Structure 1
């Protein structure tokens, strides 16, 4: 297996300027002028050496291509030197086609159901969603087996809500340099700050109805 590296090590490495590590891997977005250009870029990715041994997830739209890289093993989920090597190759392929990376278009979302005993509710969500346990954290996370849907992380609550129920909130991940502007925009749009003691790593905000997001 390739050596494990931290998100900071990944992002600070030469050749990874287009990429940001947000929750579920390293992401890059390359703007394209047409579906044909996007398809040519995907073709270039498919022709990289040994790409099928560690294939990226690729989302193709007419205005751009999003690429995600991450390594999963039974005891690890995160970034490796192999991911970094492939990221550099993908960025080089984009440059050859005249495509620019746009980190401002990168974000990731996780849905977080909370309950005092997550093991009691995970089977329900697994059945409803058709999801599978994440290989490195099967007792906490469910993922789409086709890598298309939003991931679910089950948070252990210290106690139920006052009405005796659980709670669901969202976790939105953006590049670090965009976080404070996103928080300011949410507050200006009617949100309120619930907690900020963990800033700038994360904040918790709520809308007027009390629905929360990190």
Structure 2
């Protein structure tokens, strides 16, 4: 099966959303036992295809992430796996909930990424200290990436959150944040990301794959 990296527009899977170089889906299973049985079937399919996703089993739902780590993106292997999983979910009566999907990253503004990256890799036990972004191999902590800055203002906020959601949910999330007292800071990069801040000036980017991973 092909290992060529695909683009966002190449993927047409109703249950799945492209976020952070991977395909994500969430299925409502109702209870833990039903979810566990679903995961067992996912494992069988993954072994058959020799392509294995990350699976998060909770009491009422299962969330699945699929990517081809050897090429750093989504390939035909992921498409086939995701299609097979969706068939099982539909046959089992498990509703997809793409509106519930989200992935969190943390950005750190820095004058010298190379000087501080090893510290954060060590203290958080995140991935390879030589990589631009640090990722938890177990997938339990959000990734940490480093944003170059020339500002030495001690009052400047150094950390900010990047929350990535499906493109069809991004503006809903922005609207909810504004209704909750947030303020728009920058919309010039939409639909890739919108910068918001709370009443005290703490910033967050609401991101989607459109334009960002394309």
TM-score where L is the length of structure 2? 0.89
Q: Structure 2: give runs of 5+ residues left out of the alignment.
A: 206-214
Q: CA-atom RMSD, angstroms?
A: 1.8
1:127 Cα offset (Å): 0.9
Contact 1:115 1:166 in 2 (8 A): no
What secondary structure, in the 3-state scheme, does the structure 1 residue paired with 2:69 have?
strand
Which segments of structure 1 move beyond 2 Å, counting only runs of 4 or more? 49-54
TM-score where L is the length of structure 1? 0.89
1:133 Cα offset (Å): 2.2
Rounded to whole Å, the distance in 1 between the matches of 2:168 and 2:25 is 15
Indicate the residue corresponding to 2:3 in structure 1: 2
* 2:30 paired residue among 19, 28, 33: 33
Contact 2:104 2:163 in 1 (8 A): yes
Rounded to whole Å, the distance in 1 between the matches of 2:48 and 2:118 is 35
Q: How does 1:8-157 map to 2 (within 5 A)?
A: 8-10=9-11, 12=12, 16-48=13-45, 50=47, 53-73=50-70, 76-133=71-128, 138-157=130-149
Q: Aligned pairs, how many?
A: 204
Q: Structure 1: give runs of 5+ residues left out of the alignment.
A: none
**Pair 1:199 & 2:190 matched:** yes
Tell me which moved more, 21-30 or 48-57: 48-57
What secondary structure, in the 3-state scheme, does the structure 2 residue paired with 1:91 have?
helix
Contact 1:113 1:154 in 2 (8 A): yes
Tell me which moved more, 162-171 or 77-86: 162-171
